[in-house]
Amino acid sequence: MAYSSDSDYKPSSSRTKLFGQQRPLHALLGGGRFADVVLWRNKRLSGAILVGVTVVWLLFEVVEYNLLSLLSHLSIAAMLVVFIWCNGAALVGWEPPEIPREILSRNGIKEAAEIFHSKLSRLLSFLHRIARGEDLKTFLLTIVALWFIAAVGSCCSTLNLLYLGFLGVSTLPFLFEKYEDEIDHLVNKGGSDFRKVYRKVDSEILSRIPRGPGAPANEKKLS
């Protein structure tokens, strides 16, 4: 990427980081498997998840598949495959499939339920603290954010909204990590240009606006 001038570019260590973050983005995302998937450290897994979610979105939103119909058809296909495999294995000399008695682990289901309960409890506790009015700024921001989500939800379906959110989560962090220096440079340059424009507007327009009789002398209209 070409910069406007060499003097405008500074090494990443001497520039202000976007959002004030100093740690690597991988560490900010938790540094676990979720961070690996979001930042495409495991390209096969990330690509498979993206393809799978896209296929589900196409089935429900484009093909307009019904969830109940899809589950029924998948169950029929799975049962037919197992039936043919079990009854035809002896004819072609294959081993019959070994289907476990317990397909879903109880411990896995219990762990998933505990994680969901913990996350939901934290969310409800957070909303409760905000609703008590301890922080008026956070309360107002939450109201605006919820209103914005409701407005966006009325313009598009929930499935489209979830899919767009998934695309943002799966692509924006990866692009930000890849072009972090360029983004930091543009943000710093844009902030510097905005401050210059504001100082110019303040000196030529805002400072010439008459103040009330109680205003300090240095804030009164310039002669």
Q: pLDDT truncated to tens, each residue of the chain (223 aa)?
A: 444 444 444 444 445 555 555 667 777 776 777 788 888 888 898 899 999 999 989 988 888 888 888 889 989 998 998 888 888 877 777 777 777 666 667 887 888 888 889 889 988 888 888 888 777 778 888 888 888 888 887 888 888 888 988 998 888 888 888 887 787 778 778 777 778 887 877 777 766 666 545 445 444 444 4
Whether residue 131 sits in one domain with residue 66: no
76 closest CA partner among 84, 65, 66: 84
The half-sphere exposure of 111 on its side-chain side, counting CA atoms within 13 A, is: 5
CA distance 43 to 56: 20
**What six digits make up the tokens of 44?**
């096969």
Query: Which residues form the domain of 57?
Result: 33-74
Inside any domain, residue 79: no
The half-sphere exposure of 147 on its side-chain side, counting CA atoms within 13 A, is: 6
- Number of structural domains the chain divides into: 2
Inside any domain, residue 214: no
Inside any domain, residue 63: yes
**What six digits make up the tokens of 56?**
């589900």
Inside any domain, residue 194: yes
Alpha helices in the chain (DSSP H): 25-28, 33-38, 43-57, 67-92, 106-131, 136-155, 158-178, 180-204
Inside any domain, residue 39: yes
**What six digits make up the tokens of 185?**
């440079």
Inside any domain, residue 14: no
Inside any domain, residue 10: no
6 closest CA partner among 155, 215, 185: 185
* pTM of the model as a whole: 0.56
**Coil, helix or strand at residue 116:** helix
Inside any domain, residue 149: yes
9 closest CA partner among 197, 182, 190, 177: 182
